[in-house]
Amino acid sequence: METLRRRLVTVPIVFMLAAFVISGLPLWLLLGAAIDVVRWLRDRTPFALTRLVLFGAVYLASEGVGVLTLFFAWLFGGFGRAGRARLLSRTHAIQRAWVATLLAAVTRLYRLRIELVGEAVLGPAPGGPVIVLMQHTSLVDTLLPTTYLSSRRGLALRWVLKKELLVDPCLDIAGLRLRNAFVGRDGSDTERALAQVRALATDLPRNEGVLIYPEGTRFTPEKRARALARFAVSTPALTPRAEALRRVLPPRLGGPLALIETARDADVVLVGHIGFEGLATLSAILSGALVGRVVRLRFWRYSRSEIPVQRDVLVDWLWARWSELDEWVDAEACAWEQGHKSKSAPAQ
């Protein structure tokens, strides 16, 4: 009943917003361009508002089309086991197309270039079963796993996501139709959340994996400070390790441990990226900082045989992997920042 009540609100809102934005798109673009011209003349800010208006139109159109196709996939899916399998297959296809549309819009509108590092370690496609631990810094990086692990490699992913994302109708309908876990981040029902996570790791076939964001939220310096304060109170022994992380948030290991300990035959894939730094908020995107970025996506894969079984040793192992990720991100970020300073420095 809660799901129905939510969708009776969110679905009409999306269609109304889509009609409002798309029908008035020429006006919104004109207004956005006028503001962007002023900002460009004042401080050479790229045309960020115009780009955002165009992406908003693409997003709302994709939401509307996605909701309709998900509905018709259900309506004409058929009955029985074969019908259920057909429905799930079509839902995966709709999900991949939805993400592909949004990522194509972002990369073209903002002139992004995405480079892959270490893709060969993933091995022959599809390469499962795997537990995927993903770094999180921006709204955009959530589009990368579906593109580079699902669409390109045929690896169907089960996701651990925050339940607040259920306000997005496409994520709501497709996400609850497929095997995913939408969990709360406030810690009010930790055992129930961990049970949901463990359920995802059961019976993982070769063409599937489970993805989780160990940080639990997007990285910002403010969130890093809050996380360190929390560690100082809850687990002071881990505070030095947490403080040593400079470019990623300290990992919340409850979910990753539950997945790894449940899926005893699954490898672990660690995914890091550089290029989305400082873009965790809408205001940062409106600053134009995303335009022209080069995004590097790196993969590490660890076979099951090298993953510890004993809980305390596994915790140490996960911290070590997360520290290595942080070192790579820091090295790449420092190199980018140095190159950016060199380009912007005035000629002598």
- The runs of H, that is alpha helices, within the chain are 2-23, 25-43, 48-75, 80-109, 144-145, 169-177, 190-200, 221-234, 239-244, 254-262, 282-286, 311-344
- Residue 107's contacts (CB-CB under 8 Å, 6 or more residues apart) are 113, 114
For residue 313, give the amino acid letter: V
pTM: 0.92
The CB density around residue 104, as the number of other CB atoms within 10 Å, is: 13
What range defines the domain where residue 81 resides? 2-344
Q: What is the pLDDT of residue 94?
A: 97
CA nearest to 182, candidates 60, 304, 6: 6
**What is the three-state SS of 96-156?**
HHHHHHHHHHHHHHCCCEEEEECHHHHCCCCCCCEEEEECCCCCHHHHHHHHHHHHCCCCE
**Can you name the residues that pair with 133 across neighbouring β-strands?**
212, 270
Q: What is the pLDDT of residue 348?
A: 42
Q: How many domains does the chain have?
A: 1
Handedness of CA 151, 148, 259, 140 (dihedral sign): negative
* Three-state DSSP class for residue 174: helix
Contact status, residue 270 vs residue 321, Cβ threshold 8 Å: yes
Report CA-CA distances (Å) from 321 to 87, 145, 217, 271: 38, 19, 19, 11
pLDDT in tens, the chain (348 residues): 899 999 999 999 999 999 999 999 999 999 999 999 999 999 888 999 999 999 999 999 999 999 999 999 999 987 888 899 999 999 999 999 999 999 999 999 999 999 999 999 998 888 889 999 999 998 889 999 999 999 999 999 999 999 999 999 999 999 999 999 999 877 667 888 999 999 999 999 999 999 999 999 999 889 999 999 988 888 888 899 999 999 999 999 999 999 999 999 999 999 999 998 877 777 888 888 889 999 999 999 999 999 999 999 999 999 999 999 999 999 998 887 776 665 555 544
